[in-house]
Amino acid sequence: MFITRSFAASSALVLLMGGTAHAALTADQVWQSWKDAAALAGLQVTAATEANSGGVLTLNGVTIAPAGAPMGLTISDMTLTEEGDGSVTIRPGASIAAGGGEAGGMTITHEGLEMTAREGEAGGMIYDYSADKLSAAIASATDGFSMTDTPAQKVTNDVVVNFENLAGTYSDTPGANRTFGLDLTASTLAYDVKTEDPNMQMKTASTSETADVSLGVTFALPATMSLAALAGPGDFGKALQDGLSVSLSTKQGVSTGTVNQEDQIFPYQATIAAQGGEGTFKLDKTAFSVASQGAGLNVDLTTPAMPAPVKVTTGPIVMNLLSPVQAIDAAADYGMVMKIAQLTLNDEVWGMFDPGAALKREPFDLAIDVSGKTRIDWIGMMEASDMGMQPPVPAPETLNITEIALKVAGAAANATGAFTFDNSMGMPMPLGSADVSVTGANALIDGLIATGLVTSDDAMGVRMMMGAFMTPGTEPDSLTSKIEAKEGFQIFVNGQQVQ
């Protein structure tokens, strides 16, 4: 499909801007470095015409495409100008496009796009780039699905991405691991997406605008391999052991957006506003980690399917994940943190199921913070899946429950604990204990009965379960419980064995 070819080709604008630098670069050296580096991504870089005069290399009909492919990324023209400080200034022409035909295509337009190539560390290259505006318009048509005997029609997607005041640096440093670095800042990042599926009679349009965007990427590739060599999980695992790694950091300011969906089942209109946030992603042979946090979110949604608008607001949101990639001989750290603070619903939504305000309309809070050590082999699991074999089973060794907390409608639940695991029997046997406390549960149950969401009979069963496995706390409407896991997969709650 054109999307795959186009993005493979356009990625060359980053990947191919490398090679070996010299104290005083020439335009021909920069151009040749792109062609030499193309093999790393299985690409070819060509020009219909080349002319060098007075230190200015003029290229026309530049094409970046997989070897033998009929379509790729084309640039109408480009000049590479040698500067007195030993750098080379690169100015692409106005027409930059990829793909085309029924499958779709991509067009890049810009105002003032300019790059400067200069010498970097260890003989590598650094590119500084900037543009007042940069826009990418992507159109695609994919196969749809028909619910009847009528042949399916194409699903069309149109995406426009805009940067304003774009600036940054790209670097390529040779060595045992060839290291690529990309830094990007923009005063505004905006997109406009339109999708139409005539088979489902659905149209969706969404927009977004984000202020003060910054991005940092570091990608290390073993010098002995190319990206094209990553044909399966085994190749990927070997590349990780040889030094393949990726790290990503992002930061953004306020973001606003809209969504408008037309369909027969759930048409709706929504506006979204998010406060600033930041995130990181890291992957190497030892660990995989994702961390993100946002200051808050507001969502307003209206739909004929509901009698009232829906307004959702939140405070800070945090999501962190950590896992070993291949911890086979010795256990390594894992963990998860998920926090949603002060999630609220508007009174109109509360009124749809609780018109008498029987429930406390307090904000919803969720906090999960667990960690430990485990042996796990994600690469082996992927290889086994590809080959239809039994995958290696993860073997957790410890679990620390730093916090599990939930607050909803005036009730609250909290849990802490610590467990170890005996894996000698083929499956992890937990050993340890957890302390659980609950407040406001009976008041919440009474409120649910008053709303009609829960019947008295159902509530009686829940209360009997709480009475069997929890004991009254020191405060009114509070309960506590101690859960213990012992040898032989025995579970005790407040000293009572659970059969």
pLDDT digits 0-9 by tens, 91-121: 999 889 987 767 789 999 999 999 999 988 8
Kindly state the average pLDDT of the residues 9-30.
Answer: 62
Q: Residue 347 and residue 355: Cα distance in Å, rounded?
A: 9
pLDDT digits 0-9 by tens, 417-458: 999 999 988 889 999 999 999 999 999 999 999 999 999 999
Q: What value, to the nearest 5°, has the Cα angle with vertex 233 and ends 10 and 394?
A: 130
Tell me, what amino acid is at 287? Answer: A
Phi, psi values for residue 357, rounded to 5°: 55, 45
- The DSSP-derived string for 241-296 is HHT-EEEEEEEE--EEEEEEEE-SS--EEEEEEE--EEEEEEESSSEEEEEEEES-
pLDDT band at 11 (very low <50, low <70, confident <90, very high): very low
Shortest CA distance to 322 belongs to which of 363, 301, 291?
A: 291
- pLDDT beyond 60 at 23: no
Confidence at residue 494, expressed as pLDDT on a 0 to 100 scale: 92
Kindly state the average pLDDT of the residues 169-193.
Answer: 93
- pLDDT beyond 80 at 233: yes
Phi, psi values for residue 488, rounded to 5°: 75, 25
Confidence at residue 427, expressed as pLDDT on a 0 to 100 scale: 87
Confidence at residue 234, expressed as pLDDT on a 0 to 100 scale: 86
Confidence at residue 9, expressed as pLDDT on a 0 to 100 scale: 41
Percent of the chain beyond pLDDT 70? 94
Asked whether the beta carbons of 80 and 59 are under 8 A apart, the reply is yes
pLDDT digits 0-9 by tens, 289-314: 999 999 999 999 999 999 999 999 99
β-pairing verdict for 245-252 and 277-283: antiparallel
Confidence at residue 8, expressed as pLDDT on a 0 to 100 scale: 41
- pLDDT beyond 60 at 20: no
Q: Residue 310 and residue 301: Cα distance in Å, rounded?
A: 5
Q: Residue 383 and residue 360: Cα distance in Å, rounded?
A: 51
Confidence at residue 162, expressed as pLDDT on a 0 to 100 scale: 97
- CB count in 10 Å sphere of residue 125: 26
Confidence at residue 39, expressed as pLDDT on a 0 to 100 scale: 66
Confidence at residue 7, expressed as pLDDT on a 0 to 100 scale: 39
Which segment, 16-20, 150-154, 403-407, is predicted with the most confidence on average?
403-407
